[in-house]
Structure 1
């Protein structure tokens, strides 16, 4: 087995799906452990991977181990596998707030660790993942991990001091965007548009706008100005957003999220 998952929830499934669909690692070289039988059977049926209820079986059979359990379970999970972790293995973590130093302390020995923060759009192959390797990772190993992570979206290496910021600006932000889409759709429904159609119009507008930022390389403000005709409809809507503190509210929300991540 090349790749092992401890935890087979939604994020693990998104990562598995990307890796398998891109042909990075075949399903028969992936193993997932989960104490929750329906969870592991779901990924077995969906992806055709090997599954087990034993975390140590994953460690024994995998070259790369991805910890995809909730942050509050990390200490217990690491305690149960640390003696089995080999010097040549790579451990990938996706828990907010769990620093490289904290992880090293839990393992109690030199371990190759990459701290990551993906987001839920990974489930549709459009994730944004930040990765931060520790000092035991080689450049070749870092590139390999980037290949794994890029199978379900974009990935960038960032300094660890930015990981809480990443949690706020991409890890948690899909929730803010979903709220924005829902609010725009509600307004369209209020104006007479059928709800299903309203969701499609609002979601596609967000998708297309995000793609314009990435593909054109233009400043978001410049792209906004392109839509705002003199004395037009859009600039009037922008005025209302500014009067209601739209940008300030978003900034406050992102900063609050980052602070909460630091406190975990």
Structure 2
């Protein structure tokens, strides 16, 4: 079985849009893989040329050639393009190859149906902070993939941030939470920044204070055993400034607003999945 220490391990990435590039750069910049072991294919040659100049990747002349050369194949294309791609390679020998999908709203069973019922398929749901190596990616897989193969893909993807295993049934919820979540946090940072400016701070001062506060608070949640509610109470002195602000946020149902946002995004992910697998994709996927 291939592992990261095997010099013959070849990893292919089909589609080098934002997410495809984040994977490629993560593999190489973290020294998880040498550049010569990364093979790419993309319809836009300009993006491939840029990657060759910056990261010295190898370009495959066709998708078929990439599949022949690689042990692990990342699919990072638009949902509406996936069906034709899979049908074009369905006659290839895919024994012992792992297909890793980063395609929004497409189930493992859809890929199995188009390829082969014995295909090894892993589905990922990353988020945009993966672009800078600080993302989180949810991972689900079918029962044809063994523990070594799951570890191999997990180790590859960890070059872009954290990896958490979930069941495929939880993927829509993951989309609503961590997939769309950066947008919620960006809105929070912008709102805090505007609040600082309103109180007389410069925009740059406010932005740094807001962003560092969010980053620091997140690290406290991850690095302590304390519940977020307990950490909030640690800041809220009786009769102090923070509790006044917290009461206002509670009165305006901030918790419910975030919970509803996750719910609506998750529901939309389900709708997109249904449409994608019927050939009527209308998602905002920007991977290719």
Change in CA separation of 1:125 and 1:111 when aligned onto 2, cut-off 3 Å: same
User: Counterparts of 2:88 and 2:197 in 1: how far apart (Å)?
Assistant: 52
1:102-159 deviation line (CA, Å, top 9, x unaligned): 2211224421000111111111211111111111101111111111111211112111
Change in CA separation of 1:201 and 1:104 when aligned onto 2, cut-off 3 Å: same
Partner-residue secondary structure (3-state), 1:4: strand
User: Counterparts of 1:198 and 1:83 in 2: how far apart (Å)?
Assistant: 57
Change in CA separation of 1:85 and 1:98 when aligned onto 2, cut-off 3 Å: farther
User: Counterparts of 1:113 and 1:85 in 2: how far apart (Å)?
Assistant: 15
* Larger deviation, residues 133-142 vs 53-62: 53-62
| Higher share in helix | 1
- Is the 1:2–1:30 contact (alpha carbons within 8 Å) kept by the matching residues of 2? yes
Return the match for 2:52 from 28, 37, 44: 44
Return the match for 2:23 from 12, 15, 21: 15
Instruction: Give the structure 2 partner of residue 231 of structure 1.
Output: 239
User: Counterparts of 1:124 and 1:52 in 2: how far apart (Å)?
Assistant: 26
Between the two proteins, the alignment pairs up a number of residues equal to: 264
User: Counterparts of 1:57 and 1:230 in 2: how far apart (Å)?
Assistant: 67
User: Counterparts of 1:42 and 1:196 in 2: how far apart (Å)?
Assistant: 32
Instruction: Give the structure 2 partner of residue 207 of structure 1.
Output: 215
User: Counterparts of 1:219 and 1:208 in 2: how far apart (Å)?
Assistant: 15
Partner-residue secondary structure (3-state), 1:84: coil
- Is the 2:126–2:138 contact (alpha carbons within 8 Å) kept by the matching residues of 1? yes
Q: Please, what is the CA RMSD of the aligned residues?
A: 1.4
User: Counterparts of 1:72 and 1:218 in 2: how far apart (Å)?
Assistant: 44
* TM-fit CA distance, 1:85: 4.9
- Is the 1:96–1:164 contact (alpha carbons within 8 Å) kept by the matching residues of 2? no
1:139 aligned to 2:147? yes
1:253 aligned to 2:256? no
User: Counterparts of 2:61 and 2:187 in 1: how far apart (Å)?
Assistant: 37
* Larger deviation, residues 248-257 vs 237-246: 237-246
Partner-residue secondary structure (3-state), 1:23: coil
1:72 aligned to 2:77? no
* Larger deviation, residues 95-104 vs 172-181: 95-104
User: Counterparts of 1:223 and 1:53 in 2: how far apart (Å)?
Assistant: 54
- Structure 1: state its 5+ residue gaps: none
Return the match for 1:169 from 165, 177, 188: 177
- Is the 1:5–1:68 contact (alpha carbons within 8 Å) kept by the matching residues of 2? yes
- Is the 1:34–1:40 contact (alpha carbons within 8 Å) kept by the matching residues of 2? yes
1:103 aligned to 2:111? yes
- Is the 1:35–1:54 contact (alpha carbons within 8 Å) kept by the matching residues of 2? no
Return the match for 1:185 from 178, 187, 193: 193
1:175-198 deviation line (CA, Å, top 9, x unaligned): 111111111111111222111221
User: Counterparts of 2:225 and 2:156 in 1: how far apart (Å)?
Assistant: 26
1:29 aligned to 2:37? yes
Return the match for 2:165 from 157, 172, 193: 157
* TM-fit CA distance, 1:54: 2.1
